[in-house]
Structure 1
Amino acid sequence: MTFLPGAAPTLSLSDLDSRARDIFRHVVETYLETGEPVGSRTVSKGGVHLSPASIRNTMQDLTHLGLLGAPHTSAGRLPTHAGLRLFVDGLLEVGDLAEEERRTIDARLFAKGGSFEDVMNEASAILSGLAGGAGVVSAPVRDAGVKHVEFIALGSDQALAVMVFEDGTVENRLMRRPVGLTPSALTEASNFLAARLAGRTLAETRLEMRSELDRARRELDETAARLVEDGLAAWSGGEDADRALIVRGRANLLSEPGAMEDLERVRMLFDDLEQKEQLVGLLDNVREAQGVRIFIGAETRLFSLSGSAVIAAPYMTGRQKVLGAIGVIGPARLNYARVIPLVDYTAKVLGKLLDG
């Protein structure tokens, strides 16, 4: 497993002697576990065999270096965003998922395999539930031409919209079936779209979609035209503002330690999560990475004010073609050691499922 920093720190671990490194690690690990400022006595009881006064002096040095900060004069210390970055890049020990967690993720995602939208929803929900932040997933950018389009009846009130792309990927969407839609109208709608989309990307046909809807209303049965309209609306043309973006688990952000005392930060984070275009853009940056990518605080313009962290990874086909990105957004004190392998594994399973 590899993961990439969002931005390079100004300090490296080689700038710290062994004592400072040991104390720094204890402060950060304790803070990530408790969410509270850490005092010198806490560090001395945690296995650092130095007097509280010696520890306090070293913590003061780390504060001058910009790695630790204090919420007020009499409090203990907590890591700054620069300190968290240094810890994540050089001291963090990333574990692996338990086999039971792997089976749970596999089972939940493959149970939703019949619907592209359901798979994305479930992947986001899995991460929000297991990681404790907000789970987020961006839909793939479809840059391959369309090979086949078909609507399939599923009972009296549902239809399955199937789009096969020239790169071999398949996208399925469950849709409401218009009342009175006959088998012949279903075939008529499929043929209408197939003739106009074959060999072209969704982005290429985006500007023509409005006229296609007008043409469908004139040329097709009323129910078939409605199905075509719903089908075109269900598929994204590739623009950030229109691509599917699923965010689950916002309520988790309110249950974090200190959230109720820092409601302004939580409010700003909620506002950030509503900035769809910027959030899609951030996840698209992750698409260039070959592993998990981590952003802390001001390393992203979007989350600089709320001081939040993003842990995200691309999901891709077996041929290493990147489809989209998935991740977790939460406070800077996310449990990085746990969330990184969760995001990494979920991204791999999601890519495998969508590739299939």
Structure 2
Amino acid sequence: MITELNQRSREIFRLIVDAYVATGEPVGSRTISRRLGMALSPATIRNVMADLEEQGLLYAPHTSAGRIPTEAGLRLFVNGLLEIGSLSEDERGSIEAKCASSGRSLQDVLGEASTLLSGLSHCAGLVVAPKTDRPLKHIEFVSLAPGRALVVLVNEDGLVENRVIEVPVGVPAATLQMVSNFLSAKLVGRTLDEARQAVLREIEDQKTELDELSQRVVSAGLATWAGSGGQNSGQLIVRGQAKLLEDVTALSDLERVRALFEALETKETMLRLLDATGKGDGVQIFIGAENVLFGHSGCSLIISPFQNSREQVIGAIGVIGPTRINYARIIPLVDYTAKVISRLVG
């Protein structure tokens, strides 16, 4: 449709969207007249705005002369008129530093990345964490304190997961080492669920030489990793939810926002997000009701997948904000962060 607009209409439409993104308020012809580089009267501009409204790109939220872009108009703007900005060296450095994995689990890194995106974008940051059903490569138990141990597990993709579990008080370091050796020798190459079931079968059948104390450690550790019911469909990390509530002009219906967060907590949503990001290359943009996840919520989602070394999509990272989100700034933020995460998990 963008080719159907003449140069004057495109420029007026671009200025309306820019002003709306900046203020969240309806834009009038006098505002456009002051910003326009060509000599046009407010009356001429109003005629162009009326044409744009007739094409479904603008609408008047109330009886004033001001107009704001429709979701279809925002989509047209993103696809055909948006000039995407670039990140500064400081911003790139900040993203790389925050996502550095030294001494931290992938879970912590992704949480930090989500918080970082929330802060940089002034919206809510979102991460769909990788699924945990990949075969294991390394498992180790490390004593932390009486009754507590750290479980370090590395899967075949190189993803590192650290979990703190409860163990019987007084368990000796030798027993933890025995457990680590047992799992490394018998269970590497199996998924978490397969590992848990295999250990439980061996324990039940008394085919293992581990003593009772070791059995309790193995059972507790693998049960913790596998999660309740063995549902390893990944998890969702959301940071900065309160930022969505700051924009009262775009998100006046708080009940819809609460419903959005309820939807974000479901595994079905996570699977849809991964499915949506996996179908396209790079950053994906969903505006308002065009996305089944956030239909009628007044929100836009900018999200990009991250991949493992085999170029398989294993997660996604992005930003949720009002439909008047600063697309030009946030698209490169999301894109670069996803690339940094991909390097990390590769």
- How far did residue 264 of structure 1 move? 3.9
**Residues 1:107 and 2:97 are matched in the alignment:** yes
Confirm or deny that 1:171 pairs with 2:188: no
Task: Pick one of 341, 349, 356 that aligns with 2:340.
Answer: 349
Q: Report the Cα offset of residue 214 of structure 1.
A: 7.4
CA spacing shift, 1:272–1:72, aligned 2, 3 Å: farther
**What does residue range 38-57 of structure 1 map to in structure 2 within 5 Å?**
38-48=27-37, 49-57=39-47
2:177 to 187, 200, 205: 187
Superposition deviation, residue 220 in structure 1: 5.0
Q: Which has the higher contact order (CA 8 A, sep 6+)?
A: 1
2:286 maps to which of 295, 306, 330 = 295
CA distance in 2, matches of 1:342, 1:14: 29
Distance 1:170 1:314, change over 3 A: same
Superposed CA offset, 1:34-91 (max 9, x none)? 1111111111111253111111111111111111112112251111111111100111
Q: Is the 8 A contact 2:138 2:154 kept in 1?
A: yes
Evaluate the alpha carbon distance shift between residue 215 and residue 134 of structure 1 in structure 2; reply closer, same or farther with a 3 A threshold.
farther
Paired letter, 2:111: N
Q: Distance in 2 between matches of 1:274 and 1:172?
A: 21
**Structure of larger gyration radius:** 2
Q: 313-322 or 59-68: which moved more?
A: 313-322
| Matches for 1:63-78 after TM superposition, within 5 Å | 63-78=53-68
Structure 1 residues 327 and 58, CA gap change in structure 2 (3 angstroms): same
1:137 pairs with 2:127: yes
Could you tell me how far apart the structure 1 residues matched to 2:226 and 2:3 are?
Answer: 51
Given the alignment, which residue of 137, 146, 152 partners 1:162? 152
Which stretch shows the higher mean deviation, 252-261 or 90-99? 252-261
Q: CA deviation at 1:202?
A: 3.9
Stretches of structure 2 that go unaligned for 5 or more consecutive residues are none
Distance 2:144 2:75 in 1: 50
- Which residue is equivalent to 1:225? 216
- 1:7 alignment partner in structure 2: none
- TM-score normalized with structure 1 length: 0.84
Which residue pairs with 2:23 in the alignment? 34
Change over 3 Å in CA distance of 1:102–1:224 after alignment to 2: farther
1:317 maps to amino acid: N
Q: How many residues in Structure 1 have an aligned counterpart in Structure 2?
A: 342
What's the % identity of the aligned pairs? 48
Q: Secondary structure at the match of 1:63?
A: helix
Q: Which region of structure 1 is more displaced relative to structure 2, 281-290 or 126-135?
A: 281-290
Q: Tell whether the 8 Å contact from 2:101 to 2:344 is kept in structure 1 after alignment.
A: no
Deviation of residue 207 (structure 1)? 8.7
CA drift at 1:97: 0.9
Letter in 2 for 1:267: R
Rounded Cα–Cα distance in structure 2 between residues aligned with 1:135 and 1:279:
14
Deviations 1:250-296 (A, max 9, x none): 01111225267443443333333333421342233203332111111
Comparing 215-224 with 277-286, which one deviates more in the overlay?
215-224
For 1:301, what is the secondary structure of its paired residue?
Answer: coil
Structure 1 segments unaligned to the other structure (5+ residues):
1-11
Q: Please provide the CA RMSD for this pair.
A: 3.1
Alpha-carbon shift at residue 320 of structure 1 (Å): 2.8
Shift of 1:164: 3.1
Which whole-Å deviations, capped at 9, do the CAs of 1:174-204 have from their partners, x for residues lacking one?
314534332122123324544553222346x
Q: Which moved more, 1:253-262 or 1:42-51?
A: 253-262
Whether the aligned pair in 1 keeps the contact of 2:24 and 2:250 (CA below 8 Å) is: no
Residue pair 1:177, 1:227 contacting (<8 A) in 2 also: no
- 2:345 pairs with 1:339: no
